[in-house]
Chain A
Amino acid sequence: MTEQTNKNLLPRGVNSANFEQAITKFRTLLGEENVLIKDDQLIPYNKIMMAVDSAEHTPSAAITATTVEQVQGVVKICNEHKIPVWTISTGRNFGYGSAAPGQRGQVILDLKKMNKILHVDPELCTALVEPGVTYQQLYDYIQENKLPLMLSFSAPSAIAGPLGNTMDRGVGYTPYGEHFLMQCGMEVVLANGDVYRTGMGGVKGDNAWQVFKWGYGPTLDGMFTQANYGICTKMGFWLMPKPPVFKPFEIKFENDSDIAEIVEFIRPLRIAQVIPNSVVIAGVLWEASTCNTRRSDYTTEPGPTSDAILKQIQKDKNLGAWNVYAALYGTREQVDVNWNIVTGALKQLGKGRIVTQEEAGDTQPFKYRAQLMSGVPNLQEFGLYNWRGGGGSMWFAPVSQARGSECDKQQALAKKTLNKHGLDYVGEFIVGWRDMHHVIDVLYDRTNPEETKRANACFAELLDVFEKEGYAVYRVNTAFQERVAQSYGPVKRKLEHAIKRALDPNNILAPGKSGIDLANPF
């Protein structure tokens, strides 16, 4: 039996009759079972963690495609009926919008069923995958085929996927942790239905698509990331050869005020590639949450957790105020040389307590950090959601230069703003080659309407106060996309909208993504 659509829930600017016609065409193209409009089919697409009403992000339908031809067919129907479509791959962008559409009523195009690992080359260390491939799937493939390769992924690892994470410019924790840097070749279905391949992908008979990024003429890969100019249906990327020796370690620092010195100590080692991976400097509450500590274990008082309690947690759980995680990779000789350099630099610094894998054993959070740094999936970091509870989580992720003074300033600013709104600073720094991603989980209780309102105000204020100091985030949840786009200035926005008009004049692909929407006055 064909279900009726909900007349109260339509895409922006689309009337009920037009929507019904589009749904009928989707059913013909994709099959009845791949067009979801019933309320109980759509509820799992509507579990958001942002501090706004979930009704603002409710889809009118969700459709699943299994082939590139079907994706082409979907954009054709969307153009005919002016249906905005919000594409997801695995949809595990927790804290950045999850699987819900950016705007109420948008149709979700869920590519979870396009989940083929198309190619893995163990000699050139490359992979080509479809959008629905998860890191766990790829990990299993590598294990089953005994390939000497290592993955890099974000913390939701097992259930997230390389294509989606890279398209959103996510980061991981290995030497290949800057995922977009490791991307090589993509296939994109454009709004007019054309299938465009970047780099060498357009050359007939070519076999260098996954090894040479640039091809000829303008290189457009970056234009499709965090954007709404096309639907990525294949992506190539580089895999790290599995090193013969992997040596993870942690350095615990006792005081909050140590952060500036930590960064000054790490930066030269990182730029020189003595430490080749994306180093993490995790604060005490991040660490505590990921070793099964809950706020209610210590206090039920509302508001921010006091510094006295933070110190108590640090002591009880044997944590540092800051906890640095890094690893060395290579042959025994390489690792030994680099280990001497790291320990020598730490001796010179005169503070910090080093913990090796042998000393840490199976204790958390060391174990899951070591797994992330060696490409072994786990889900330990989901423990963050139990710190305060209530299902509210929004990542606030400003970037900065990798300088101690910047971290000091950012951490103080973030903590002051969060505490003002009764929330905790739960943050970590991820040290790139020369930059810092300061990643803060704004955790709050969505069952409490007053706290939800506060969390929303807090997030808005964080953006404001950081912007005043010359900082902006590199990625944000869908409720704040438009606000963040403003931080980057009107010229960038005009250009982005000019490209949108040229490539997608009917505004069908994810309107609103990164603030790009032809309904905007640009």
Chain B
Amino acid sequence: MNVERRVLLKGMALGSLVGVAMSNSGLAMANTVLGSQTRAALPTLALVSGEVAASAFLEGVTASPTARQIKVQRTDLSLDFILGLEKHLSSGQPQRIIGLVDDASAALIIDLARSAGARVQWLGQHRATANASQHHLLSAEAASGCAPQLGLQLNACGTGFSLREHRMGGQRAPLQLSAAARSSAGSEQWAVTLGYSLAALGTANIGQAPLIASRASPLTGNFVSFSIEA
């Protein structure tokens, strides 16, 4: 049986969280860099589906230090989109593709990435309601620090969340973080932090995702996030 790196954050203030975090190797990484390798940012395509296009995810992406290299495209289930993406992935140009999309689009995008021989550093499944979010993450070494960063910021803004990160191949025990809701504000914080973290992945400059106020119609439902490098 795995001994899980469980950190229960229920009701903790940010200060005490940091105390716990610093004793945990996974969380400590969040305070270094997002990703173990740093280099110049690659041209990046950010894919968003339906309602994500109008969500805080793109606020996070555009606030990132790599925003200038990022183009945004909406996904759909049309052949034109899928065949276009397939061509893009196979172009031979070094590039990154990040995104937050619906499950149907994700099934297609991740498999196209596999077929194109691309690397997937991050694959997240997310479920969000108006006052809480759940995050089920599968990550590679290259995305180390992303999940703890997401956990730290969600705890900081006080929204309820649970987060479970598996490392591919089980080289490390899963990271589990959770916190009860202390505030109804910032219910879309998960999306903005995610957008920021994925956009900044692999760069030296981690900065901080912007904190956002609550919205009348926050992004709710099921989504899949990813970071692909071709």
Q: Could you tell me how many residues of chain B have their Cβ less than 8 Å away from some Cβ of chain A?
A: 47
Asked if A41 contacts B104 (CB within 8 A), the reply is no
Query: Is B211 an interface residue, CB under 8 A from the partner?
Result: no
A38 touches B170 (CB 8 A): no
Instruction: Tell me the residues in window 381-415 of chain A with beta carbons closer than 8 Å to chain B beta carbons.
Output: 382-386, 388-391
Is B115 in contact with A47, judged by CB distance below 8 angstroms? Answer: no
Picked from B114, B123, B129, the residue with its CB within 8 Å of the CB of A99 is: B114
Q: Which of A240-248, A444-452, A472-480 contacts B (4 or more CB under 8 A)?
A: A444-452
Which residue in A6, A43, A386, A448 is a CB contact (below 8 Å) of B138? A43
Per-residue A-contact encoding for B100-131, CB less than 8 Å = 1, 0 else: 00111111101111110111110101110100
| Interface pair B104/A378, CB less than 8 Å apart | no
Cross-chain contact B77 with A91 (CB below 8 angstroms): no
Which residue from B120, B125, B134 sits with its C-beta under 8 Å from A40? B120
CB distance B221 to A296 under 8 Å? yes
Q: Are B115 and A112 in contact (CB under 8 A)?
A: yes
Is residue A106 within 8 Å, beta carbon to beta carbon, of the partner chain?
Answer: no
Q: In the complex the two chains form, is B123's CB within 8 Å of A43's CB?
A: yes
Q: Is the CB of A46 within 8 A of B125?
A: no
Asked if B59 is an interface residue, CB under 8 A from chain A, the answer is no
Query: Which of A39, A42, A55, A382 has a CB less than 8 Å from the CB of B77?
Result: A382
Contact between B134 and A447 (Cβ–Cβ < 8 Å)? yes
Residues 5-24 of A contacting B (Cβ, < 8 Å): 6, 8-9
Report B133-158 CB contacts with A as 1/0, cut-off 8 Å: 01110111110000000000000000
A-B contact pairs, 28 of them (CB 8 A): A8-B169, A8-B170, A8-B171, A38-B140, A39-B141, A39-B171, A40-B140, A41-B117, A43-B119, A43-B138, A46-B138, A91-B111, A98-B111, A159-B111, A296-B221, A300-B129, A379-B78, A379-B79, A379-B82, A382-B104, A385-B107, A386-B103, A389-B221, A389-B222, A390-B222, A391-B224, A446-B136, A448-B127
Residue ID in chain A nearest B121 by CB atoms: A40
- Binary A-proximity of B50-82 (CB < 8 A = 1, otherwise 0): 000000000000000000000000000111001
- Given contacts A8-B170, A40-B121, A47-B110, whether A383 and B140 have CB atoms under 8 Å apart is no
Q: How far is the CB of A468 from chain B (nearest CB, A)?
A: 33
CB distance from B108 to the nearest CB of A (A): 6
Q: Is A331 an interface residue (CB 8 A)?
A: no
Chain A 405-427: CB-based contact to B (< 8 A → 1; otherwise 0): 00000000000000000000000
| Least CB distance, B125 to chain A, in whole angstroms | 5
Q: State whether B102 touches A40 (Cβ < 8 A).
A: no
Interface string of A40-68 (1 = CB under 8 A from B): 11111111010000110010000000000
Please name the residue on chain A nearest to B143 by beta carbon: A40
| Cα–Cα distance between A121 and B83 once the two chains are bound (Å) | 26
Kindly name the residue among B125, B129, B134, B168 whose own CB sees the greatest number of chain A CB atoms within 10 A.
B168
Q: How far, in whole Å, are A99 and B107 apart by their CA atoms in the complex?
A: 12
Q: Which residues of A contact B10 (CB under 8 A)?
A: none
Residues of A within 8 A of B104 (CB): 382-386
- Say if the beta carbon of B166 comes within 8 Å of chain A: yes
B167 CB within 8 Å of chain A: yes
Q: Which residues of B contact A9 (CB under 8 A)?
A: 169-171
- By the criterion CB–CB under 8 Å, are A158 and B110 in contact? no
Kindly provide the distance from the CB of A185 to the nearest chain B CB, expressed in whole angstroms. 26
Given A47-B110, A385-B103: A380 touches B77 (CB 8 Å cut-off): yes
Chain B residues packing against A (C-beta within 8 Å): 77-79, 82-83, 102-108, 110-115, 117-121, 123, 125-127, 129, 134-136, 138-142, 166-171, 220-222, 224, 229
Considering the chains assembled together, what is the distance between the CA atoms of A91 and B78 in angstroms? Answer: 20
Question: Which of A46, A99, A447 has the most CB atoms of chain B within a 10 A radius of its CB?
Answer: A447
Q: Are A43 and B115 in contact (CB under 8 A)?
A: no
CB distance from B114 to the nearest CB of A (A): 4
Q: Which residue of A lies closest to B228 (CB)?
A: A44
Give the complex CA separation of A445 and B223 in angstroms.
11
Question: In angstroms, how far is the closest chain A Cβ from the Cβ of B183?
Answer: 21
Given contacts A158-B79, A391-B106, A447-B222, contact A39 B168 (CB under 8 A): yes
Q: Is the CB of B168 within 8 A of A46?
A: yes
A196 CB–B CB distance under 8 Å: no
Q: Let me know if B111 and A383 touch, CB within 8 A.
A: no
Q: Is the CB of A55 within 8 A of B170?
A: yes
Inter-chain contacts of B107 with A (CB < 8 A): 47, 49, 94, 382, 385, 391
Contact of B113 among A39, A44, A385 (CB under 8 A): A44
A55 and B111 contacting across the interface, CB-CB below 8 Å: no
Q: Are A448 and B78 closer than 8 Å at their CB atoms?
A: no
Cβ-based interface call for A294 (8 A): yes
Mark contacts of A89-128 with chain B using CB atoms, 8 A cut-off: 1 yes-contact digit, 0 otherwise.
0111010001100000000000010000000000000000
In the complex, per-residue mask of A441-471: 1 if CB is within 8 Å of any chain B CB, else 0? 0000111100000000000000000000000
| B102 interface neighbour in A6, A55, A389, Cβ under 8 Å | A389
Q: Which residue of A lies closest to B127 (CB)?
A: A447
Q: What chain B residues lie within 8 Å of A8 (beta carbons)?
A: 169-171
6 A-B pairs closest in CB distance: A389-B222, A44-B114, A40-B140, A39-B168, A40-B119, A39-B140
